[in-house]
Structure 1
Amino acid sequence: MGVWSFITGAALLLLILVAICFLLYCGYIYYTHVKYDHIPGPPRDSFLFGHSPTIIKIMKNKKVIYDTFLEWVEKYGPVIRINGLHNTLVLIVSPEGVKEFLMTPKYTKDNFYKRIEALFGTRFMGKGLVTDQDYEHWHKQRRIMDPAFSRTYLMELMGTFNDKAEDLVDTLGEKADRKCQVGMHDMLSRVTLDVIAKVAFGLELNSLHDDQTPFPRAISTVMRGMVETRNPLAKYNPGKQAFIRDVKENIKLLRNTGKECIERRMKAIQEGEDIPVDILTQILKGAELEDGCSLEDLIDNFVTFFIAGQETTANQLSFAVMELAQNPEILTRVQSEVDEVIGSKRDIAYEDLGKLQYLSQVLKETLRLYPTAPGTSRALEEETVVEGVRIPARTTLMFNSYIMGRMEKFYQDPLVFNPDRFHPDAPKPGYAYFPFSLGPRSCIGQVFAQMEAKVVMAKFLQRFEFELVEGQSFRILDTGTLRPMDGVICRLRPRGEQKNK
């Protein structure tokens, strides 16, 4: 009897403690509501979960959450709050706010980036260039990396860009029979993977010809894992456990590849071999200049560049193909420019890139509508006022190029694909376009990426006519970056060949 009394008493005490903790947590949530409810925003779905149910529902339906955020800012103004449990984020779509918070090192990256330091408890990007919240440490890394993105080094990459792009068009040429259906996103993902592996790390992956290579799937899986972390309860969901294990295994694959690559380059340096001034060399130089830099720290930047250098460029090129196929007048105009500048040459010269002005406009307009890395965030440490709205201290601020790029306030007929918006003489809204972010934390690889994109797209346009296979939705899939959901399935034929031969 005494034992049962003890168990009953202990259970009752535990229930009381749980109830007290729950009430305290509810009190804290109420406190955050009081703290932020002067900021405009849509009604919460519930007191406890805030807007999380809406966000989770959108994710389950594979819709883009930023379209909903766009509706909210159009209705409630350029500064809105978004609640989730005890957390409150503030979304700012004001050019003045973008200028203030992105153009200075005063505002550091916020705790969102901790979610991609490690995914589901497995180290992912760690303290690499994208995730590092310590500005001084980041700045040190950035200075070390800069030589690998200098104009001199980038010019030397033209040979590799040409070779890999030629490999792509040769492979596509085998499928250009007007009947074969080609998944352009898959093919472009493979060529950009081959490019970044070669020019950054000296690896020959040959993924264009190797259907068994695990890297394209590994990257896609870990990117989907990033999206799942938006739901704070995902890691507790029994139905997600197999997927989470898959994410962890693919992170280990990427990091083990980085480890092998770094150790091989270290050995080459020790043996006095000639080594390129590439990203991997600069990663290792960073180790020499930084006390206490571990192998895991080096792998962080390997993974960062391996993924960032492949995923975003492939997605941009895929969206560009999708839009050109739907806009024949724009396609004809850009192909005419390619014919004039490149002609029938196999190799595109560095000097040719500057002459492909309209192609540049096409690629920029693609990133306006489909910024593959749609946004960034900053930590606000002191109370401030933006657009007349007081924002409390210690708040996470969100900035989103996708949303601003689709607002009538900044772009006339924003959903119309119009490369003339980016003509050198066209008026452009300030601080509304930032697909590579802005300021000191802008993407170090943006010039690299656009050079690569121009070479690949110019060769593709030089060689092929193309049309989209019927029945595609043209929806966008959010996998951490934005990509075409249906994969941009096309039929190809060689340029100059009669369409109805």
Structure 2
Amino acid sequence: MATLHRFEGAALLVQQVVKDVPAWKLCAYVTLLFPLYAITMGIYNLFFHPLRNFPGPKKAALSNIWYSYIWLSGRYPHIIHALHEKYGSVVRVAPNQLSYNTSSSWKDIYTNYGNRQTFRKNSLYDRDKLDPVTNISREPDPVKHNQIKRLFSNAFSMKSLTEQEPIVQEYVDLLVSQIGKHGTGEDGLDMTKWYNYCTFDIIGDLAFGEGFDATKEGKTPPLPTSNSPTSVYAISFINVTGRFPWLSKFVPSITPAEIVERRQRHINYGRDKVNRRVKSDNKRKDFLTNVLENYRDQISDAELYSNAQVFIVAGSETSATTLSGLTYYILRNPRTYQRLVSEITSSFTSYSEINSVTAGRLEYVGAVINETLRMYPPVPIGLPRLSPGETVDGQFIPKGALVSTSPWASGHCSKNFHDPWTFKPERWLDGECEEKDIREASQPFSLGPRGCLGRNLALMELRLIICKMLFTYHLELLDTKLDWERDSTAYILWVKPDLRVRLHRR
């Protein structure tokens, strides 16, 4: 109690002093103290910080300002890759943060093996004021996260997905029909948008019991507007402010009202969808079938809303991103395109034969998907974790330091993959690759307890869409000057360029 009274007394004294000091003097003090604080912290970070001996640029070690700049530049994955090329497999990218690009670091950071301590999520995943409850994406407590995961994991099992395949097939068939109607003209159509329409509808129907009619109407539905470039920029900016606690107090006042309103509309729309699903007597199998039987004993209504919206964003945008990247890469590599089309058209005598089982047997289709995920991982940033005081790649990392493995840097490292900037699906086929690649270095779905829950669904969507589309149409890339890696900008997710394609029916 005595200590508490001393703190209270000190606080009152500071308030009185500040009150009695003229405004001009207070501004002068702040003006002098801030540079002094910055210089002091810079000296500490460079010469005394626990991470001082790790390699990296001095400007990254000085403060979080440089890291924030590269985070907001839209070229974050590329810059991190360049740092790894210069400094090696581990780089200090901020005063208290390390980046890795090795296959072993994936296992050390993201999985639990042996008696190792858990690397937990950090404040990047904190709750926001508009959606304050926990969900499977942001929950830092491993025990609570596992409870949420168990509640939804059955919906993503192969058994459940087989039962839900007719829903997926319905929207894939609608996509194939719609792009044939709109994409055979001289101007073709932007496949980036149409892939998003289809994946929005699929995940929406599975999560809410009804789609968004995006593929039918050819326009983005209200809910996934959080994936728009403006929203992605805003989320990235808010994440940066977390590195400067004093700045975070000003975020509500400087965040555009349009962004706040759009996010609130997004949340309300999702809640309405979930409420309709909860009240419906639809007996059809979907993501919420098992959850709704006893969810009130394990999860609140607000948490149910929040998790359902996570599935929409994560389950639609990532699959659409992979499909867009895959389409670009195969159309820029004629030999790959011809081999892929040959495998698909020779494996089926009719469109109706294509399903998840038959499409799953095609080895080259799988190799093309794996190579796309290596070249263009849908989440290009390293997912940060807090060190509990453990080793990564055999080196001890102090407790509280942030660590991550960069999907982009590990997938484009010449020590992991030969000729890493070349799109070469053959590297995923045993016996066809001349050089030995470290395939484990590419982990687009991450690893461990927090690995992507929707992996099986994503692969089902990718295989069905690729096979049905290429069985029906020949694709022609209209913009021959398009450079997918140059023209994509990366924040938490990719902001993709237009992908204009003309279709010719086979």
- Per-residue Cα deviation, 1:197-254 (whole angstroms, up to 9, x for no partner): 112221131112333733454432433332233432797899x956x43332222222
Q: Which residue, out of 17, 30, 38, partners 2:53?
A: 38
* Counterpart in the other structure of 2:83: 72
CA gap 1:335/1:81 in 2 versus in 1, 3 angstroms: same
- Per-residue Cα deviation, 1:450-478 (whole angstroms, up to 9, x for no partner): 10111111111111112222342322221
- Equivalent residues of 1:109, 1:378 under 8 A apart: yes
Identity of aligned residues (%): 23
Which amino acid is 1:306 matched to? I
Q: Which residue, out of 167, 175, 185, partners 2:174?
A: 167
* Counterpart in the other structure of 1:257: 269
Q: Which residue, out of 378, 385, 404, partners 1:398?
A: 404
Which amino acid is 1:95 matched to? S
- Per-residue Cα deviation, 1:303-348 (whole angstroms, up to 9, x for no partner): 1101011000000000000011111111111111111223322352
- Equivalent residues of 2:388, 2:400 under 8 A apart: yes
* CA–CA separation in structure 1 for the residues paired with 2:443 and 2:401: 22
- Per-residue Cα deviation, 1:139-198 (whole angstroms, up to 9, x for no partner): 111111121012221112222222111111111111343512310000100011011111
* CA–CA separation in structure 1 for the residues paired with 2:22 and 2:269: 55
CA gap 1:146/1:101 in 2 versus in 1, 3 angstroms: same
Which amino acid is 1:447 matched to? N
- Equivalent residues of 1:79, 1:386 under 8 A apart: no
Q: Which residue, out of 333, 337, 348, partners 1:342?
A: 348
Deviation at 1:27, TM superposition (A): 3.2
Q: Which residue, out of 306, 327, 346, partners 1:300?
A: 306
* Counterpart in the other structure of 1:213: 221
Residue 307 of structure 1 aligns to a residue whose secondary structure is helix
* CA–CA separation in structure 1 for the residues paired with 2:227 and 2:26: 48
Q: Map residues 189-228 of structure 1 onto 2, 5 A cutoff.
A: 189-210=196-217, 211=219, 213-220=221-228, 221-228=230-237
Deviation at 1:281, TM superposition (A): 3.3
Q: Which residue, out of 87, 96, 99, partners 1:88?
A: 96
- Per-residue Cα deviation, 1:371-414 (whole angstroms, up to 9, x for no partner): 001232211021x4545655322111011111100011011100
* Counterpart in the other structure of 2:165: 158
| Aligned-CA RMSD value | 2.9
* CA–CA separation in structure 2 for the residues paired with 1:192 and 1:332: 26
* Counterpart in the other structure of 2:258: 246
CA gap 1:10/1:478 in 2 versus in 1, 3 angstroms: closer
* CA–CA separation in structure 2 for the residues paired with 1:483 and 1:340: 35
- Equivalent residues of 1:176, 1:491 under 8 A apart: yes
Establish whether residue 16 from structure 1 lines up as the match of residue 23 from structure 2: no
* CA–CA separation in structure 2 for the residues paired with 1:254 and 1:276: 25
Which amino acid is 1:130 matched to? S
Deviation at 1:19, TM superposition (A): 4.5
Which amino acid is 1:287 matched to? Y
Q: Which residue, out of 146, 162, 177, partners 2:153?
A: 146
Which amino acid is 2:221 matched to? T
Residue 346 of structure 1 aligns to a residue whose secondary structure is helix
CA gap 1:47/1:134 in 2 versus in 1, 3 angstroms: closer
Deviation at 1:283, TM superposition (A): 4.5
* CA–CA separation in structure 2 for the residues paired with 1:256 and 1:378: 31
Give the TM-score normalised by the residue count of structure 1.
Answer: 0.85
Q: Which residue, out of 131, 147, 151, partners 1:123?
A: 131
Which amino acid is 2:493 matched to? T
CA gap 1:298/1:29 in 2 versus in 1, 3 angstroms: farther
- Equivalent residues of 2:185, 2:502 under 8 A apart: yes
CA gap 1:212/1:88 in 2 versus in 1, 3 angstroms: closer
Residue 490 of structure 1 aligns to a residue whose secondary structure is strand
- Equivalent residues of 2:152, 2:287 under 8 A apart: yes
CA gap 1:251/1:71 in 2 versus in 1, 3 angstroms: same
* Counterpart in the other structure of 2:14: none
CA gap 1:410/1:52 in 2 versus in 1, 3 angstroms: closer
Which amino acid is 1:280 matched to? L
CA gap 1:283/1:223 in 2 versus in 1, 3 angstroms: farther
* CA–CA separation in structure 1 for the residues paired with 2:386 and 2:464: 38
Residue 96 of structure 2 aligns to a residue whose secondary structure is strand
* Counterpart in the other structure of 2:332: 326
* Counterpart in the other structure of 2:442: 433
* Counterpart in the other structure of 1:473: 483
Q: Map residues 250-289 of structure 1 onto 2, 5 A cutoff.
A: 250-268=262-280, 273-285=281-293, 287-289=295-297
- Equivalent residues of 1:259, 1:295 under 8 A apart: no
CA gap 1:346/1:248 in 2 versus in 1, 3 angstroms: farther
* CA–CA separation in structure 2 for the residues paired with 1:130 and 1:150: 19
Residue 465 of structure 1 aligns to a residue whose secondary structure is strand
Which amino acid is 1:259 matched to? R
Residue 137 of structure 1 aligns to a residue whose secondary structure is helix
- Equivalent residues of 1:99, 1:431 under 8 A apart: no
* CA–CA separation in structure 2 for the residues paired with 1:202 and 1:66: 36
Deviation at 1:103, TM superposition (A): 1.7
- Equivalent residues of 2:92, 2:99 under 8 A apart: yes
Establish whether residue 110 from structure 1 lines up as the match of residue 125 from structure 2: no
* Counterpart in the other structure of 2:13: none
Unpaired runs of 5+ residues, structure 1, are 1-5, 496-501
CA gap 1:385/1:161 in 2 versus in 1, 3 angstroms: closer
- Equivalent residues of 1:284, 1:298 under 8 A apart: no
Q: Map residues 232-243 of structure 1 onto 2, 5 A cutoff.
A: 232=241, 241=254
Establish whether residue 186 from structure 1 lines up as the match of residue 199 from structure 2: no
* Counterpart in the other structure of 2:6: none
Work out the number of aligned pairs and report it. Answer: 470
Residue 416 of structure 2 aligns to a residue whose secondary structure is coil
Deviation at 1:18, TM superposition (A): 6.8
* CA–CA separation in structure 1 for the residues paired with 2:20 and 2:91: 49
Establish whether residue 464 from structure 1 lines up as the match of residue 470 from structure 2: no
Deviation at 1:89, TM superposition (A): 1.0
* CA–CA separation in structure 1 for the residues paired with 2:410 and 2:220: 40
CA gap 1:360/1:256 in 2 versus in 1, 3 angstroms: same
Deviating more after overlay: 175-184 vs 34-43: 175-184
- Equivalent residues of 2:331, 2:475 under 8 A apart: yes
- Equivalent residues of 1:437, 1:443 under 8 A apart: yes
Which amino acid is 1:494 matched to? R
